[in-house]
Amino acid sequence: MHVWGEYWANGRDRHDYRLSPIYGVPDGLHDVTVFYGTDEIFVPDMRRLEAFLSGQKNVRFFVGEGMSHVYPLFPIPEGRAALDACIRILREV
């Protein structure tokens, strides 16, 4: 993962808020919605992001118990429910 992280950062500091929002300032963010599964490699980062954004307005986290990173894309009940939630959220905009 470190190799891919360095590749993705493309020479930027890995603590740059544009690469990872937990290194920025959450003030002024609008309508943040995050979907993640409890069986994915990014769970610790997602929990840090939740803690970082706690207290901010218009922040929603959807956690798929036992799901992987891209569970909203799977043709399973949990994926369909997540996709339906995405559609509802986009219609609110």
Instruction: Name the maximum alpha-carbon separation found in the chain.
Output: 40
CB 39 within 8 A of CB 68: yes
Per-residue pLDDT tens over the stretch 34-79: 999 999 998 999 999 999 998 888 899 999 999 998 999 999 999 9
Number of domains in the chain: 1
Q: Which two tokens stand for residue 54?
A: 């706690």
Is 17 inside any structural domain?
A: no
Is 80 inside any structural domain?
A: yes
Ramachandran region, residue 11 (left: φ > 0; alpha: ψ -120 to 50; beta: rest): left
Is 19 inside any structural domain?
A: no
Q: Which residues contact 49 (CB under 8 A, 6 or more apart)?
A: 21, 22, 34
Write down the mean pLDDT value for the chain: 90
Residue span of the structural domain in which 76 resides: 26-92
pTM, rounded to two decimals: 0.80
Is 43 inside any structural domain?
A: yes
Is 6 inside any structural domain?
A: no
Distance CA 65, CA 42 (A): 14
Is 33 inside any structural domain?
A: yes
